[in-house]
């Protein structure tokens, strides 16, 4: 198709609304010497035949969402591909909308797992969420065998139950971080896939919380097997009940954000009862050694701070659009989870080492042990 443009006419780069071709159309025009700026660059009237690319509706949206100016010819092709993948809040379907204070950097719905995986390699507002927990999961996968050969195996008195509770935590951390990274990778696939993976994300959080309590309760009541079994059973039941609730589809919507946060906090804070019981049993000084109490407090603080930041959407709620790709509340929450996992792992190793030294065993009366650490 050839269109002749006179010096008094200009080229309209906007195609009709019913234009649905997925490729560029090229239109030959004759050249003139005048031009004027448009929303997408410049509208030109030229004399002499040239080719003008008429954008499809999707490509227009890409430019409206992401265009930041012209690029050198060598970068144009790669940049145009990225423009087609990134959009703003205003362009999102309802099911992809969660945080209105994040204005840009959204991936478009891909309807393809392969395209979701490809998004690992370009910047968008889920990049930090994905890579923080993906690398965290890889780190704990590496730590798992090292923990056995460098820590558990070299302690002569370690029992199979020590190994079970330590690996229950490591498994919970790996599952949580892996499911989280997977959700943030695939959440732009489609509404159905989003719904499936967000529930997997919640499932991983519960696995981490419950898995974290197993070694803490095991070492916290190392010489009181009845209390040990009781508290581990209670936290397991609470975790299972929470999984049933959060796996309901309606709880994935933004209006239930605080409900989700409250449920996760409730499961996490349910451990306060055995912690207080342990402090009464051992005394505060001994509890710091026997249960690694100071590590548990630091871990809990990291999780609580992260959950509060996530629930309140701080800092982006005060500066919309300023934290789209970096330092948003969800990203800070991810970092807090990594910090909490690391602190807890170190604390549980210290608690295990305490109970497996010669002079700290169940053979020593508790009153005598308390005296040893209060003098």
Going by the annotation, the residues of the binding site are: 184, 330, 334
Residues at the binding site for Zn(2+) are 184, 330, 334
**CA–CA gap between residue 58 and residue 189 (Å, rounded):** 17
**CA–CA gap between residue 309 and residue 300 (Å, rounded):** 14
Both structure tokens of 43? 């509208």
Q: State the CB neighbour count (10 A cutoff) for residue 26.
A: 11
DSSP string, 181-210: HHHHHHTTS-HHHHHHHHHHHHHHHHHHHH
What sign has the CA pseudo-torsion 277, 214, 348, 207?
A: negative
Distances (CA, A) of 61 to 80, 228, 319: 12, 59, 25
Peptide bond into 315 cis (omega under 30): yes
DSSP string, 307-322: HHHHHHTTTTTTSTTS
Nearest CA among 166, 163, 203 for reference residue 182: 203
**CA–CA gap between residue 77 and residue 53 (Å, rounded):** 13
Q: Are 218 and 230 in contact (CB under 8 A)?
A: no
**CA–CA gap between residue 147 and residue 152 (Å, rounded):** 6
**CA–CA gap between residue 224 and residue 290 (Å, rounded):** 13
Torsions phi, psi for 14 (to 5 deg): -90, 120
**CA–CA gap between residue 58 and residue 79 (Å, rounded):** 15
* Residues forming a β-bridge with 26: 53
How, if at all, do strands 50-54 and 25-29 pair?
A: antiparallel
**CA–CA gap between residue 244 and residue 262 (Å, rounded):** 15
């Amino acid at each position: 198709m050839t269109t002749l443009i006179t010096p008094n006419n200009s080229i309209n780069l906007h195609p009709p609304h019913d234009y649905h071709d997925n490729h560029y159309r090229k239109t030959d025009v004759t050249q003139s010497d005048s031009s004027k700026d448009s929303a997408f660059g410049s509208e030109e009237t030229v004399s002499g035949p040239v080719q003008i690319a008429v954008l499809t509706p999707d490509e227009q949206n890409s430019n409206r969402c992401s265009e930041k100016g012209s690029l050198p010819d060598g970068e144009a092709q790669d940049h145009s591909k990225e423009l087609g993948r990134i959009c703003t809040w205003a362009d999102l379907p309802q099911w992809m909308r969660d945080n209105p204070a994040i204005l840009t950097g959204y991936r478009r719905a891909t309807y393809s797992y392969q395209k979701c995986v490809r998004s690992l390699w370009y910047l968008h507002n889920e990049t930090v969420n994905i890579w923080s927990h993906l690398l965290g999961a890889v780190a704990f996968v590496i730590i798992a065998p090292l923990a056995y050969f460098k820590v558990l195996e070299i302690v002569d008195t370690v029992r199979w139950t020590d190994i079970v509770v330590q690996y229950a935590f490591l498994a919970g951390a790996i599952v949580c971080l892996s499911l989280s990274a997977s959700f943030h990778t695939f959440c732009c696939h489609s509404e159905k896939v989003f719904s499936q993976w967000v529930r997997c994300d919640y499932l991983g959080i519960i696995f981490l919380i419950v898995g974290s309590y197993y070694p803490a309760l095991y070492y916290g009541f190392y010489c009181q097997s009845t209390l040990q079994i009781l508290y581990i059973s209670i936290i397991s039941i609470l975790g299972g009940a929470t999984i049933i609730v959060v796996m309901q589809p309606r709880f994935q919507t933004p209006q239930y954000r605080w409900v989700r946060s409250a449920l996760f906090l409730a499961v996490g804070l349910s451990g306060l009862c055995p912690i207080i019981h342990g402090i009464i049993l051992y005394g505060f000084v001994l509890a710091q050694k026997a249960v690694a109490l100071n590590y548990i407090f630091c871990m809990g603080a990291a999780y609580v701070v992260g959950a509060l930041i996530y629930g309140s959407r701080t800092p982006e709620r005060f500066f919309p659009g300023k934290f789209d790709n970096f330092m948003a509340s969800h990203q800070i929450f991810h970092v807090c989870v990594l910090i909490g996992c690391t602190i807890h792992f170190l604390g549980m190793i210290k608690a295990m080492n305490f109970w497996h030294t010669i002079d700290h065993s169940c053979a020593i009366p508790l009153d005598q042990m308390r005296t040893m650490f209060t003098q």
